[in-house]
Chain A
Amino acid sequence: MRFPYSETVLEHFRHPRNVGKIENADGKAIEGSPACGDMVSVYINVDPDKKKISDIKFESYGCASNIATGSIITELAKGKTLDEAKKITWKEASEALGGLPKIKAHCSVLAVEGLRSAIENYEERHGLVKERKPTTVETVRKRLRKVMNPLTGLDLVRTNLVRDIKVQNGTVRVVVDLPADNQFASAIKQEIMEKIEPLWDVKEVVVEFTD
């Protein structure tokens, strides 16, 4: 048996920690969808005085790295303050797992997103967020930092694949510096749509490729 996964990844894949739902959780979030091949639900309970994560559970529909990252992220976040937990990065999760294959970065980053969204959800519900800001090119760029280039395991922005971003009247136009028939074009397009579409004032997302 030789997998492209570390022993720790396999251990968490086979015996994931903190699996399940928390009924009436203080904060919860779902990231991803069956369409993108991976989906994670994260539930947290928060100690309101210390602003600490007192309990955390997750559920995962996805591949081994998705399940393993979901599992490790619950271990990393438990007992941390909200501010500390928000700062947990994909890199830290990946390191705690003994490394993940580059091509799998996009599946595992979801769990990290899930944790942050669950915290945001808690903050929103408990009046801890500032008002909603309109979407700008910068907001879009920030989100694109979470779309992984499967060739390198690094995000689109860092690998200079985002040629142009335009935001106008609720339409976001992203030009990706890849030919439309690139092996990953379709997968990348889908991920971009999924990251940008949930923005509250975005009505349409157009992804274009260079040829």
Chain B
Amino acid sequence: MLDRRQVYLDNSAATRLDERVLEVMKPYFFDRYAVATSEFAYTQGIEARESLDRARKALAVVLGAAPEEFIFTSGSTESSNIALKGVALALGNKKGKHLIVLKIEDFPVLHSARALEKQGYQVTYLDVDSDGFLDLDKLRESITSETILVSIQHANQEIGTIQDIENIGLICHEKEVLFHSDATHTFPRIPLDVKKIPVDLITVSAHTIHGPKGVGGLYIRKGTMLAKWVDGGFQEFDLRAGMENIPGAVGFAKAVELVTPKETKLLQAMRDRVIDRVLGEIPDTILNGHRQKRLPQNANISFHFIEGESITLHLDIHGFAVSTGSACFSRSLEGSHVIFGIGGDHERAHGSIRFTFGRYNTIEDADAVVNVLAEVVKELRNISPLGKEKEE
């Protein structure tokens, strides 16, 4: 049991690096380790500049953007921090101090908004419906003359619900408010073309697509007012100081190149297998997030009467890695704000399990985890004082 292969089904937390990504990164650790800032001093610097520019261009193209509209960061946390705080700093005294975010945003957006509130900004936290969707009319009503930024995620990190990004963009465009979207979990599996959809800022990351950890990016539409707030050198068009992570940037570009629609379809088949089988075979379960309009790699299900950490621990003993929205699992000892956001109670949050699939999973993994899960859930329900009323 201890030696069995671990089936990793937590690909929204981190992914296994693809060897092909590592191969293109390697030379930048040993042979071409100079940074692009040295381009006017020596040849290695010029090569570094060229490599960075190539990676930048490759990533910008995928978003339909120009290379100078894309900066590299240390990951999605930094990207979203730059977007929210950068816009707030740039426009706070010029236009107003009001921001709008979604209640179920991931922590980089949510906590950046909270930090700005402490600095005297007002934040509207928009509610979502039971599937996790934003109400477009509510958004429209919430935008005031003071509003400087709307930040609505492309898809949710936990329940996978994909927002109607196009219409959100149109509303913001019409109201002349900047629009940021955290696309950490959709890029590049779900196309987002800034030529077609009016988004001004987009957060992306390599860690969700078998790229290296510690590298992400931010798309910034040309002309967007954004203040630099990590000071240092003049890297990244003087918007983000700090040594360029060239191996990371090159690896990120390769990781994006390797994502194919065919692969995404396979992930979707695994997702559907888990959802259909669990809901069909295990009683007292409920799907979190919309059944169709959801991330192709994400299944999230709540199991009534039992707690998520116990489920994950049992699954781990059987060789499966998944995550849960339970309070016991979180660092703050609070249940998932996303499950609460869609109207779920504590029990639904504590009993929620997220399965996220990646390149190294198979449909057999999906079947295997459901088989084990059926047993684990039965055992834990046997111990639980909840849900026994029916039998009595």
Which A residues contact B (CB, under 8 angstroms)? 1, 3, 10, 13-14, 16, 19, 21, 30, 33-41, 59-64, 66-67, 103-104, 106-107, 150, 181, 183-184, 186-187
Contacts and interface: CB of A to CB of B under 8 A. Distances in A.
Contacts of B146: none
- Chain B: number of interface residues, binned into ranges: 20 to 34
Contacts of B23: none
B383 A60 contact: yes
Task: Choose among A13, A14, A63 the residue with the greatest number of B CB atoms under 10 Å from its CB.
Answer: A63
Contacts of A61: 305-307, 384-386
Contact of B328 (A1, A14, A19, A37): A37
A38 B333 CA distance: 11
B304 to A, nearest CB: 10
B310 interface: yes
B310 A67 contact: yes
B383 A59 contact: yes
Nearest 6 pairs between A and B by C-beta?
A59-B385, A187-B333, A63-B328, A63-B309, A34-B347, A37-B327
A1 B347 CA distance: 27
Interface of B: 2, 114, 305-307, 309-310, 313-314, 316-317, 326-329, 331-335, 345-347, 350, 382-386, 388
B317 A62 contact: no
Given A34-B347, A63-B309, A63-B328, 20 more contacts: A1-B317, A3-B313, A33-B346, A34-B350, A35-B345, A37-B307, A37-B335, A39-B386, A59-B384, A59-B385, A60-B383, A61-B306, A61-B307, A61-B386, A62-B307, A63-B310, A67-B383, A150-B333, A184-B332, A187-B327
Contact of A34 (B334, B345, B388): B345
16 contacts: A14-B317, A21-B388, A34-B346, A37-B327, A37-B328, A37-B335, A37-B346, A37-B350, A39-B386, A59-B383, A60-B383, A61-B305, A61-B386, A63-B310, A64-B313, A184-B332
Contacts of A36: 327, 346
Given A59-B384, A61-B385, A107-B328, A38 B307 contact: yes
Contacts of B350: 34, 37
Contacts, number: 83
A63 B328 CA distance: 7
Nearest to B327: A37
Contacts of B326: 37, 63
B333 A184 contact: yes
Interface centre among B328, B332, B386, B388 (most CB of A within 10 A): B328
Given A61-B305, A181-B114, A16 B383 contact: yes
Contacts of A64: 309-310, 313
Contacts of B388: 21
A35 B350 CA distance: 9
A19 B346 CA distance: 24
A192 to B, nearest CB: 13
A14 B382 CA distance: 12
Nearest to B346: A35
Contacts of B309: 63-64
A13 B384 contact: no
Nearest to B305: A61
A30 B314 CA distance: 25
B316 A1 contact: yes
Nearest to A150: B333
Given A19-B382, A67-B383, A187-B333, A13 B327 contact: no
Contact of B310 (A41, A62, A187): A62
B328 A62 contact: yes
A183 B328 contact: no
Given A61-B305, A61-B307, A61-B384, A186 B334 contact: yes
Nearest to A3: B313
B31 to A, nearest CB: 37
Contacts of A38: 307, 328
A72 to B, nearest CB: 14
Contacts of B317: 1, 10, 14
Nearest to B307: A62
A101 B189 CA distance: 39
Nearest to A2: B316
Contacts of A60: 383-385
Contacts of B333: 37, 103, 106, 150, 184, 187
A41 B329 CA distance: 22
B118 to A, nearest CB: 8
